[in-house]
Amino acid sequence: MSTVTTEPLLRYSRTQRHPRLRPRNSRLLNPASLNFRSKTVELLSNGASFCNFKPRHRVQPVRASSADAAVLDTFQSADVFFKETFSLIRTQRVEGKIFIRLDQGNDEAAWELTIGCNIPGKWILHWGVSLIEDNGSEWDQPPKSMRPPGSIPIKDYAIETPLKESSEQDIFYEVKINVIPNGEIAGINFVLKDEETGAWYQHRGRDFKVPLVDYLQDDGNMIGAKRDLGLWKGALGSLSNIILKKESSASKLQGSSSELEDTKQEKIFLEGFYEEQPITKEISFENSMTVSVQKSPETAKNLLYMETDLPGDVIVHWGVCRDDAKYWEIPKAPYPPETTVFKNKALRTLLQPKEGGNGCSGLFTLDEEHEGFLFVLKLNESTWLKWLGNDFHIPLSGSGGLHSQPGQGQFDVLKAERATDTNEEISPVAYTEGIINEIRNLVSDISSEKSRKTKTKEAQESILQEIEKLAAEAYSIFRSSIPTFSEETISESKVQKPSVRICSGTGSGFEILCQGFNWESHRSGRWYMDLKQKATEISSMGFTVIWLPPPTESVSPEGYMPKDLYNLNSRYGSIDELKDLVKTLHEVGIKVLGDVVLNHRCATYQNPNGVWNIFGGRLNWDDRAVVADDPHFQGRGNKSSGDNFHAAPNIDHSQDFVREDIKEWLYWLREEIGYDGWRLDFVRGFWGGYVKDYMDSSEPYFAVGEYWDSLSYTYGEMDHNQDAHRQRIVDWINAANGTAGAFDVTTKGILHSALERCEYWRLSDEKGKPPGVVGWWPSRAVTFIENHDTGSTQGHWRFPRGKEMQGYAYILTHPGTPALFYDHIFSHYQSEIAALISVRNRNNVHCRSTVKIIKAERDVYAAIIDEKVAMKIGPGHFEPPSAPERWSLAIEGQDYKVWEAS
């Protein structure tokens, strides 16, 4: 979807008149007022947390042992048979302020507008001006005399200016704009962008507006001195001011030039002001926890020492186990200080502050009969820390578990799912066999006659979910150790396109996807009918699937701010025209994907507080359907399971009625319209497990999610290793249980840097495989180089100009499912694109094809796919080897070539 602005927390704002209450040189903001609130810890990519134990009775205090302190003194000198350091990544919400100040300069005719922010970040002011003769909401670029140094024009309507570190101690970043009132500019409009997170901060959901004349209409986004000089209130009052001023101006045109100057001055009533608006930002912090185990030289008991630099009160929720089944037990006393019993199921110990106040620690004395120490960390009622979705398990027998030699185990919890890639000491075979054994034990347990009689349906479902999780983890290890693979045995001599899909949501493997619209397609009002005329041409080029724009009634004309989900009369055409288009596409052999926005929905009505969170239409939800942790929309649902999209109410998918309504709506779209599958918008906003539920219910032929995330950069340069980025996308696919693919944003980003900078070596990862999602899970990777957001008239992340065909030569010869953008298909690239599609189809290249990278050097990348297709991109030289195959050139263009095996 489009890049949409997000507004800050606007519960309180403070306006102060200048200059009495706020001298110009006073300190505006105090960093000490920043409020850091712990929100969550990203130990799991899907944000999973430990079971939410909520005691209904007072916990029972337990007596602590006084001998622990003495034992701790000799701990470091004894033999340690287990020691592990875990890296803990947590996120804190930082609260700060945007401030806006208008001051009169030394020259009475000149003013200075200062805009700043006191939260660290890479802040950009995106701004423009409103002209007096323009009564609409369009922006214009300011005159060059107003533009601060470093400003960059954005198309023809705005500029972007970076905020600089302020010389004033209490302000972090600011920018100053010189304002010379001349009777032409009515106001200054702006939004603040944080380039580190991509977030846009607005004023009450709209652009900030600083008026420079007294008759601008206030849409709720105006800041500064408020005046009411009109004869009538409201819109008519604003209109009256305009009429009176124009009449006054006309009557004085016959007078002297001095009278004309007086008329201009009458239009301008500037008054200095200072105003603050609160904002929030998520900032990541890294902490660690070290666990050591030794044998007590005096008692032969196990001594477990735990220390961490996590701030605040850290509670260890713990128990012991006797075998590999890892069933929790409460051990015998003695216990550490500040230990309580929780529901006779576990113990809770408050770790004690370390000397110097840097973190906390605890010492646990455990009998030899126990095989393992189980625990999770509790920071507050909503924040629990786990390991790979499971309890931490520390071995007490010197073998098993997660142990390593002292000082060797530096595990990053966020990357631990791929531990076989980063820690060679762990045997992938042994680890995988352990997971398989766990799956077998669970299957045996749930299938036994005794289990069927004694276990409730809920318990059996819980075991089945555990089996799914273990299977996904085992598959992740296999995928990371053998990134490019064939998921089924395919005879090279007789490769036939399957007549049925391999599994729900992933198609046959031979799909080629056409994005059937761009950002401006809604403007004609008859896009469905226009596209219908091109159906035969699209099919003849070799496309098998087409992605249509969002069909629902929407606040935004492009369709990404849906309102009434069952109203399919949109700016692209009517519901009948949509049905006609889908029918025509089916007749020419093309499957159709609907663009569905499930993360957010625009309300129809306001609640008693004036907040838009009551929905209309057939799905007339109330504020229970809105997540509770988006402060803009006062939802009464649960906390969001993903990232909030602040421009509209975020839907709470944990609500049963919401999920049932969405599943019914998707089923209706399949039956009523004839969609064959889905393009899922902004799936970062909610847990992938809900996607699995929707896919299982609607049974799409093909589905792809838009999981858009920022790549890794160091000092402005893209890192070579983008494993963390593609891991996050793969984690989402895993959470959805593989029922949908995802756009391979990693591959697009790496292609950008490789082609722009002539650094084709980037197209091979550290294991010699494609560096994007296509190198790890090709059957779920939908590769692309451009779409309606990145290209078209938006151009948020446009592919390097003139190098588009190199990008298409890459994705159309490689595994994954290639997606091509409408603007490129119907352009001067059309014949080259058609030729590349023909090569792919003739050689039966599919989403699981194997890749052998031959060259990945500074100026050339070359690969052989399925031993049938050879390709190269870049200005450097490459010719495929002459033996054993003989190669014939199939197509070549600017800096690319493709060959076929004879």
DSSP result, 388-443 = TTB-EEEESSSSSTT--STTT-EEEGGGGGGHHHH-TTS-HHHHHHHHHHHHHHHH
Has residue 19 got a pLDDT over 50? no
CA distance 894 to 874: 9
CA distances from 470 to 252, 415, 453, 738 (A): 83, 17, 25, 14
Cβ of 442: how many Cβ atoms within 10 Å?
Answer: 15
Q: Which residue has the higher pLDDT, 137 or 616?
A: 616
Query: In this structure, is residue 830 part of a structural domain?
Result: yes
Query: In this structure, is residue 679 part of a structural domain?
Result: yes
168 plus 311 within the same structural domain: no
Which residue stretches of 287-388 are H helix?
none
Cβ of 426: how many Cβ atoms within 10 Å?
Answer: 15
Domain count of the fold of the chain: 3
Cβ of 664: how many Cβ atoms within 10 Å?
Answer: 14
193 plus 305 within the same structural domain: no
Q: pLDDT (tens digit, 9 = 90+) per residue, 127-186?
A: 999 887 765 557 888 998 899 999 988 777 789 999 998 876 566 899 999 988 777 888
Positions of E strands within 518-625: 545-547, 591-596, 605-606, 612-614
* Annotated active-site residue in 7, 438, 681, 786: 681
Lowest mean pLDDT: which of 105-109, 454-458, 871-875, 886-890?
Answer: 454-458
pLDDT band at 352 (very low <50, low <70, confident <90, very high): very high
Across 866-876, b (16+ Cβ under 10 Å) vs e yields bebbbbbbbeb
**Per-residue model confidence (pLDDT) at position 391:** 85
Has residue 383 got a pLDDT over 90? no
Across 511-547, b (16+ Cβ under 10 Å) vs e yields bbbbbbbbbebbeeeebbeebbebbeebbebbbbbbb
Following CA atoms 501, 820, 850, 725 in sequence, which dihedral angle do they give, to the nearest 10 degrees? -100
**CATH number, residue 845:** 3.20.20.80
Q: Is 155 exposed, middle or buried (0-12, 13-18, 19+ CB in 10 A)?
A: exposed
- Mean pLDDT, range 215-239, rounded to an integer: 51
Instruction: Give the position of tokens 């975020």.
Output: 650
Query: In this structure, is residue 51 part of a structural domain?
Result: no
Average pLDDT, the chain: 78
Paired tokens of 729: 């996308």
In the DSSP assignment, the letter for residue 145 is: G
Q: pLDDT (tens digit, 9 = 90+) per residue, 486-510?
A: 333 333 333 344 333 345 678 999 9
CA distance 260 to 182: 13
What is the phi/psi pair of residue 195, to 5°?
Answer: -70, -20
Q: Cα dihedral sign for 682, 687, 693, 695?
A: positive
274 plus 390 within the same structural domain: no
Judge whether 120 and 195 are in contact, CB under 8 Å: no
Provide DSSP, 681-715.
--GGGS-HHHHHHHHHHH--SEEEE-------EET
* Annotated active-site residue in 84, 676, 706, 723: 706
Has residue 21 got a pLDDT over 50? no
- Mean pLDDT, range 254-259, rounded to an integer: 41
Has residue 293 got a pLDDT over 70? yes
pLDDT band at 235 (very low <50, low <70, confident <90, very high): very low
What is the phi/psi pair of residue 396, to 5°?
Answer: -115, 5
Lowest mean pLDDT: which of 336-345, 690-699, 875-884?
Answer: 875-884
Indicate the residue among 227, 248, 278 that finishes a domain: 278
829 plus 690 within the same structural domain: yes
274 plus 346 within the same structural domain: no
Q: pLDDT (tens digit, 9 = 90+) per residue, 92-120?
A: 778 888 999 998 877 777 899 999 998 88
SS (H, E, C) 598-662: CCECCCCEECCCCCEEECCCCCCCCHHHECCCCCCCCCCCCCCCCCCCCCCCEECCCCHHHHHHH
SS (H, E, C) 739-808: CCEEECHHHHHHHHHHHHCCCHHHHCCCCCCCCCHHHCCHHHEEECCCCCCCCCCCCCCCCCCCCHHHHH
**Per-residue model confidence (pLDDT) at position 497:** 41
pLDDT band at 2 (very low <50, low <70, confident <90, very high): very low
545 plus 666 within the same structural domain: yes
> If you count DSSP H runs as helices and E runs as strands, how many of each does the chain have, helices first?
17, 41
167 plus 313 within the same structural domain: no
**Per-residue model confidence (pLDDT) at position 303:** 92
Q: Which residue has the higher pLDDT, 237 or 755?
A: 755
Query: In this structure, is residue 61 part of a structural domain?
Result: no
**Per-residue model confidence (pLDDT) at position 400:** 47
Lowest mean pLDDT: which of 120-124, 517-521, 820-824, 833-837?
Answer: 120-124
- Mean pLDDT, range 388-399, rounded to an integer: 78
The helix/strand/coil state of 267 is coil
Paired tokens of 58: 């007072």
- Mean pLDDT, range 543-550, rounded to an integer: 97
Note the residue count of the chain: 902
Residue type, 439: I
119 plus 190 within the same structural domain: yes
- Mean pLDDT, range 624-639, rounded to an integer: 90
**Per-residue model confidence (pLDDT) at position 218:** 67
Each as own residue / partner, the long-range contacts of residues 224-233 (CB below 8 Å, 24 or more positions apart, any chain) are 224/15, 224/100, 224/102, 224/271, 224/273, 224/275, 225/17, 225/271, 225/272, 225/273, 226/15, 227/269, 229/269
Please state, for a pLDDT cut of 90, what percent of the chain lies above it: 49
Cβ of 672: how many Cβ atoms within 10 Å?
Answer: 13
Indicate the residue among 813, 830, 850 that finishes a domain: 850
Paired tokens of 67: 């001998």
What is the phi/psi pair of residue 332, to 5°?
Answer: -75, 160
Rg (CA), the chain: 31
- Mean pLDDT, range 546-553, rounded to an integer: 97
Judge whether 815 and 845 are in contact, CB under 8 Å: yes
Lowest mean pLDDT: which of 115-119, 284-288, 514-518, 595-599?
Answer: 284-288
Judge whether 783 and 747 are in contact, CB under 8 Å: yes
Domain boundaries, position 159:
94-218+270-278
300 plus 210 within the same structural domain: no
pLDDT band at 441 (very low <50, low <70, confident <90, very high): low
**Per-residue model confidence (pLDDT) at position 513:** 98
- Mean pLDDT, range 828-857, rounded to an integer: 96
**Per-residue model confidence (pLDDT) at position 280:** 81
Lowest mean pLDDT: which of 272-286, 447-461, 668-682?
Answer: 447-461
Q: Which residue has the higher pLDDT, 269 or 375?
A: 375
**Per-residue model confidence (pLDDT) at position 157:** 77
Please indicate whether residue 706 is annotated as part of the active site: yes
Cβ of 496: how many Cβ atoms within 10 Å?
Answer: 9
743 plus 791 within the same structural domain: yes
584 plus 689 within the same structural domain: yes
**Per-residue model confidence (pLDDT) at position 644:** 87
Judge whether 268 and 104 are in contact, CB under 8 Å: no
Query: In this structure, is residue 845 part of a structural domain?
Result: yes
pLDDT band at 678 (very low <50, low <70, confident <90, very high): very high
211 plus 355 within the same structural domain: no
pLDDT band at 76 (very low <50, low <70, confident <90, very high): low
**Per-residue model confidence (pLDDT) at position 902:** 82
First-last CA distance in the chain? 43
Q: pLDDT (tens digit, 9 = 90+) per residue, 762-812?
A: 999 999 999 999 999 999 999 999 999 999 998 889 999 999 999 999 999
**Per-residue model confidence (pLDDT) at position 107:** 75
**CATH number, residue 159:** 2.60.40
Indicate the residue among 395, 414, 429 that finishes a domain: 395
Q: Which residue has the higher pLDDT, 115 or 237?
A: 115
**Per-residue model confidence (pLDDT) at position 256:** 40
- Mean pLDDT, range 560-579, rounded to an integer: 96
Judge whether 11 and 278 are in contact, CB under 8 Å: yes
Query: In this structure, is residue 244 part of a structural domain?
Result: no
Has residue 445 got a pLDDT over 60? no
